[in-house]
Amino acid sequence: MMRKLENKKGDKLLSVYWFAILVIVAVGIVLMVNAFYGKNYDIRKEEATILAQKAADCIYFAGKLSPEAFSSQSGFREDFRDNFLDKCSMNFSLKDTLQRPPYYLEIGFFIGGDLDKQRFLISHGNKNWKADCENSVRDRTKLAICVSKEFYAKGNSDTYYLVKILSVVGKVEGNTI
């Protein structure tokens, strides 16, 4: 009879430890899942890189400026600058909102690589984001992300242009933690 009584006390003690272990394991799993999925992913840099590459693909073809953007007789086409987003299949507008677009794209064409001789400029989007590019703050979650690309392209017979592309992605509201 005494043995049965000792067994019941041991079972109660074992069940308390078993419950404590289950609670520790459950809390550990919840903390690990929260650590892995708890933070937002910031893909604005990749998005700005893709935007710059898409703009470059639109104005540059086979080592030369695109015939839609540049004509050997008349030079740069003004209608291309005005309709750049449509011609390159880009859309900066946000559906169902009155907010300004979270993007800015600027493409400068410089004769022979001389940064003082800008020949043509294409810019679209929210110019207010450009100011964040010069800011050197470590925590960029509340600032826009800027990506710059540049390359040389042949215009007409002997003219080469340095093409500088600045693409900026804002979307700061979705990146605050």
Are 90 and 17 in a shared domain? no
- Residues 149 and 60: their CA atoms lie apart, in Å, by 13
Are 17 and 55 in a shared domain? no
Are 34 and 56 in a shared domain? no
Q: Which domain holds residue 33?
A: 1-38
- 53: nearest Cα among 157, 123, 149, 135: 149
Are 108 and 136 in a shared domain? yes
60-84 per-position pLDDT tens digit: 887 788 878 877 666 778 888 888 8
pLDDT at residue 2 in the model: 47
Are 136 and 155 in a shared domain? yes
Across 20-29, 35-44, 151-160, the highest mean pLDDT is recorded for 20-29
pLDDT at residue 1 in the model: 46
Give 93's contacts (C-beta < 8 A, 6+ positions apart): 101
Are 108 and 89 in a shared domain? yes
| pLDDT band at 167; cut points 50, 70, 90 | very high
Report the alpha-carbon angle 8-13-18, nearest 5: 120
Average pLDDT over residues 89-104: 76
Mean pLDDT of the chain: 80
Are 91 and 131 in a shared domain? yes
- Residues 73 and 62: their CA atoms lie apart, in Å, by 19
Dihedral sign, Cα of residue 126, residue 130, residue 133, residue 139: negative
Are 15 and 86 in a shared domain? no
- Residues 60 and 69: their CA atoms lie apart, in Å, by 9
Are 8 and 83 in a shared domain? no
Looking at the structure of the chain, the number of domains it has is 2
Are 27 and 111 in a shared domain? no
pLDDT at residue 137 in the model: 67
Determine if the pTM surpasses 0.85: no
Average pLDDT over residues 38-43: 77
Are 92 and 17 in a shared domain? no
pLDDT at residue 29 in the model: 96
Token pair listed for 97: 């909102």
Say whether pLDDT at 41 is over 80. no
Are 115 and 168 in a shared domain? yes
Average pLDDT over residues 102-126: 84
pLDDT at residue 107 in the model: 92
